[in-house]
Structure formats: structure tokens, C-alpha cells
Structure 1
Amino acid sequence: MATFTKYVAKPFLNFTSTTKICPLLPQFPSNYLPISSKSKQNFPNSETKRHITVAKATVAPGVKKANSEERVKKVHTSEEFDEALRAAKNRLVVVEYAASHSINSSKIYPFMVDLSRNCSDVDFLLVMGDESEETRQLCAREKIEKVPHFSFYKSMEKIHEEEGIGPDQLVGDVLYYGDSHSAVVQLHNREDVEKLIGEHKVDGKLIVLDVGLKHCGPCVKVYPTVIKLSRSMEDTVVFARMNGDENESCMQFLRDMDVVEVPTFLFIRDGKISGRYVGSGKGELIGEILRYQGVRVTY
């Protein structure tokens, strides 16, 4: 779990025990990206390199074969890169920095291709760092030293980055930073919370409020489960999310709710907070939701 005791001085209320979370380990180690301006003699041209990368990657079991018409856009210059970020406006942009010599870049690329098929409201870019002097300069500008490296942008601002991650974490990051269409209600201030609570005082639905921070690994890890539950339990449970570090109003709400560790899930019914779960355990979260719905759960 992530702790932000420097923001909150109040003691934690003893609703449920805290779950310890091990740090996420990358499934693929990173490779250093050569920054030298001298191109290697055995580099094929840029288009050939892309096909080689995809061909190597498609040997992984369960990965669909990529074709030349994917939604992943390859950029060759800093100007193309900046224009792609401008054109995306407020949409999430996921950038993979790769290299033709990197086996790990080849392994992760098809998973980004699959995500591009399923996430139509997210833009995906590929930068081959060893393609040319211009792409090397772009990587140097963005301080990319190892590949595969993923950066996430919104409104031309870098909001998150990861190095050497595997498919599950990539999917989790895209869902966490790009979610704009699931059944999870996105809350941006205290007024949003109060409005949501007011809307469900009458119908008696349980509200599960997922409180996290923008760069919290365990928050990202559990979020795909939150999305799945929001769809399977939509008749009886309302799921919502707030990032405490989005603005001062959110941070003050966390202080008022005595939240000192994230992710914290607040359970709200009939306008009152009836309990909470702290941690990213999927089974434990589901068990707590069922318990607050009145379902007897034994461990």
C-alpha cells in the first residue's frame, strides 16, 4: 500500500485490518537503449524493423498476429510526436519506447496492439529509439535510457511512466489512467461525493468508493477488478473512484475521512460510511462488498 502520512495527521479508524502489499515486480527486465548517434551497420530500414519486431513477438502463445493496419501509430520525429499529443487533446496517449535489438520490446508490443483494438478512446504511439538520429534525440529529450519504456500522457502532460512492465500491468495502467466509459463513477471533488451519496439515499444501493493516488501501484493493480465488479454488480452496488492527489478538495476529503493508506475502499449506505477495506486483495475486496450487502462470508 502507499502511505501519505505527511498529508494526514489523524489516526486511522479501526474498521478492518490493513492488508500488506508486496511491490509489483516487472515481468520483463529492461534493456539499455543505445544513445550513440552512430547507427549500427546491421540495422534494417524502419519499416522492416517494425515487421521484424512484430514477427518475433507473435510466437508468444495466445497472441494474435499483428498486421500493418493497427491503431498503434509509429512516430519518427519529435515534431510528429508533439503533434500526436496535441491531436489527442484530453484522451489518454500511451507511448511505447522500443528498440529493434530488444527482445523484451518484441514481447510486450503485441499486447499493446491488442489493447489498441479494444480501447478506442486511447491513442497508442510507438517510438523505435534506435531507428534514426531523430528518434534517438527524441528519447534523449524524454530522458528514456532503457526499453521497453511506457509513458502515459493527457493534455500533453506526462501523468505516469513505467519501465520493463509485463502485459497485466500494462492493461492495468491503461484502464486506470484512461478509464472514461466504465460503470465506475469518476469523482473529482467533495461535491461530487455528496451528490452521489444523495442520489442513492432513496434506492438504498451500497456505494463502494475506491480512494487512491495517481502513482500508486496497488491502486492500479486492483482497478481492473473494480471495473469488472462494477459491471457484474450494477443492480445492487455503485462503484466510484477518487484520486486523493488530483486536487486539494480531494485531499481534504481524504483527511476528513481519516484515510491514511491507499487503496482504501469506503462502504457507504443510506448516506453514512458503514465501513472500509484497506488493501488490494481481490478476494478480500469481494468478500467485504458481499458482507456489507448482508451476505454472510466465512474465511
Structure 2
Amino acid sequence: MAPVARRVAQARRRAPSSRNPRATVCMAGYDSVQARREAESLRVDSRTKQIHSLAELDAAFTLAGDKLIMLAIESEEECMMSDDLWDRNNVAGTETNKEQCRQLSASLARIAREADNVVFLRVEVLESGDTRQIAKELNITKFPTYQYWKNDDLMWQHVGAGAGVAAELSEGVLYYGGQGAAGLNVRDYVTEINSRNDLGNFIESCAAPTGPLPGFDAGLDVPCDKQLAIVDIGVDKDAPHGCLHIFPAVLSLARNTQGFTRWARMAIDKNAETADIAREFGIDTVPSFVFLADGKVVDRYSGSDRVELMNHVLAFQKANGIRLPERGAKRRMSTAEAKEIARAARDRAKAEGRQTGW
């Protein structure tokens, strides 16, 4: 494990993007909802390592191994907005800005709660002391700043709070950490391509027939030559926003089109082989998608429009006569059952001394 100084040198060589989060805010209250929130806060606190010195930062990086590290560098006194980071009127200490940071911290807490395979580190930068030195060593002058590290490399960073930032940070965890809500593992649905051999195996594979799909009467059995093999081509380091933005759609499509599509992802900058593969595919922008069927390229798409990506999949499906099974008819409860539920709701409201529309 390289010392912090090496990571600092890497960070200084990178031009930061513009993006942001903050710490958990406890609210007064004594009802069951508050008790649940406090329990969740305790869980989040146990998932987040508070860093107070360069030595602690180095230790945390060492213990993280090859897991994704999300490093939050925040300040109670300063909160910049990412949308107009360089605007002179963007005063970092205003209450409006600080509230944006507090809201972002609450959102980050939810991410930490769900992504248990990601290491979350937080540095609260004070006016003086060791934490200010951490920010200086990392060449961070604006707060909050969020960095994503993996295998000792700075992959991506965001500076500032503001609208849409929480979603972007969540996308970053999914893109770089490979984990979604409720422990969802990206690799269960999207194959990682790191070599020509990986690509060949992916193209030659064939999705097995599925059992009955939830909500449908039957499963899918699509011939191998009619199955789409889709490769999402992006980059790892300093990935443009589009790569992160569209990846949740990639995962969703991979999960919901099992049986007639297979999905993979490849980073151009992973190694020399992946760079050569991208050149052979004619990729000059990311994110780009290459659609293959029966071993041949049948379509391409470059961009980050989630609907457009789905339309490319549906167009191939339609052109090749692939039809989803008929959706099963939903059984409605009887009128008598519905009236009984309504009666119970009225009785509950009456016992609680309140009015009800039931």
C-alpha cells in the first residue's frame, strides 16, 4: 500500500470534476418513526469511518483492500454549490448552502446504509488541526468534495452540493462499486470484460430459457442467434457524467430482459487489450454500446439517453419477432373482502379518534 503522499500526488495531477454530500443530522422526537431513524443512524455511523489524521486515512485505505472507497471531505463552515462553483456570488458559508449540504449528507447516509461492500470515509475539516492538513495534502480547497478510490487509484471526484448531486453520487457507487440497493450485485447481471478471452466467452455464451417471469404466464426461450449481446463501453478514471448516468438503466435492462439479452461492460482504459478492442469496434466516444447477435455487430449507440438505449433493444426484439409472454391476469379480491378491509380501517380510525375516508 502506497503512503498518502502517493495518493496525494495522483490527486493533484487530476483536474477535479464538479460534484458533492454531508453528515447525518439527528432530529428530536420520541415516536416509533424516530426510533427507527435513530437505529438507522447508528447503522450508518457503524458503516462510516471518521478520519482525524493522515495516519488514520492511510490505515483506512490499507484495510479497504480492493473495495471501492468513498471519501467525503466536508466542512461545517463551508458549503459550495456545484452548479455555479466558480460564481463569485456563490458564498460558501450561507445558511441556504449549508442546508443543501445537510440534505446531501442525509442522502449519503442512505447510500452508506445500502452499499455494504463499499468503504465510506468521512473527514470533517475544522479551521485548524490535522483534518485541515488532510485537505491540504489532497489539494482540496472547496467543500464538500467527494472522491472515489479503488486499488489506490483516484477514479473520480465531485465538488459541491446542489440539485441532482445525491443521485449522481449514488450512480457513482453503482458504477464504481458494483453494488446497488439491498445488496444487489452488478456482476450477477452484467459481465466484466477485461480481455479478448472475456469478450469471446461473452459473445459465445447463450442465455438459458427462463422460468415463468413475475407477472407473466410463461418464461422465455429465445434461440441463441436471436439473443442480443450488448457491450457497454466506458472508462474507469475520470468517467464523464454520461457513463455514470446511464449505468442504472443498463443494470435495470440487464435484469428485466434476461432470456433474450446478455449484458457486459468494458473500460477502455482498463488495459492495452481493452483499448485495442475499443479501437476495433470503432469507439471514439463514451459511453457507447455495441449490439451483437450470432457473433456479428448488428447495431450501435453512443450516448447516455436511457430511453434511447431501451429503444435500440426493443427495435431488435421487434425486427426479429421476439415477443414477451402474455402478462398474467391480476386476480381482484371480491367485493365482500374489500368491504371487510374497509370496515377494519374505519374501526381502527374510530379507536384512534380520527376521521377517515373509508
Q: Normalising to structure 1: TM-score of the pair?
A: 0.75
In 2, Cα distance between equivalents of 1:131 and 1:74: 17
Specify the code of the residue in structure 1 equivalent to 2:166.
P
Q: Select the structure with the greater relative contact order (CA < 8 A; seq sep ≥ 6).
A: 1
Aligned amino acid, residue 213 of structure 1: V
For the aligned residues, what is the CA RMSD?
Answer: 2.4
1:200·1:270 contact (CA, 8 Å) conserved in 2? no
Map of 1:192 onto structure 2: 198
- Matched with 2:112 is 116
Aligned AA (2:138): E
Structure 2 portions without partners, runs of 5+: 1-16, 28-36, 80-97, 180-184, 208-222, 321-358
Separation in structure 1 between the aligned mates of residue 120 and residue 69 of structure 2, nearest angstrom? 6
- Alpha-carbon separation, structure 1, partners of 2:115 and 2:155: 18
| Aligned-residue offset at 1:259 | 1.1
Number of the residue aligned with 1:39: none
The equivalent of 1:243 in structure 2 is: 267
Match of 1:5 in 2: none
Question: Equivalent pairs: percent with the same residue?
Answer: 26
Aligned equivalent of 1:226? 250
Distance 1:294 1:78, change over 3 A: same
User: Which protein is bigger by CA-based radius of gyration?
Assistant: 2
Partners of 1:268 and 1:275 within 8 A in 2: yes
- Whether the 8 Å CA contact 1:76–1:135 is kept in 2: the answer is yes
Partner of 1:175: 174
| Alpha carbons 1:99, 1:105 under 8 Å: kept | no
**Worse-superposed segment, 87-96 or 204-213:** 204-213
What is the aligned partner in structure 2 of residue 78 from structure 1?
54
Higher helix share: 2
Aligned residues of 1:267 and 1:292 also touching (Cα < 8 A): no
Distance 2:192 2:204 in 1: 16
Q: Is the 8 A contact 1:211 1:244 kept in 2?
A: yes
Matched, 1:156 2:132: no
Counterpart for residue 208 of structure 1: 230
Task: Pick one of 67, 83, 100 that aligns with 2:41.
Answer: 67
Aligned residue pair count: 244
Q: In 2, Cα distance between the equivalents of 1:198 and 1:295?
A: 22
Residues 55-85 of structure 1: CA deviation (Å, up to 9, x unaligned):
48xxxxxxx6652341122111111111111
Distance 2:127 2:51 in 1: 10
Cα distance in 1 for partners of 2:261, 2:234 equals 19
1:69 and 1:256 map into 2 onto residues whose CA distance is 47
Contact 1:129 1:139 in 2 (8 A): yes
* 1:107 aligned residue: 103
Question: In structure 2, how many angstroms separate the alpha carbons of the residues matched to 1:220 and 1:187?
Answer: 18
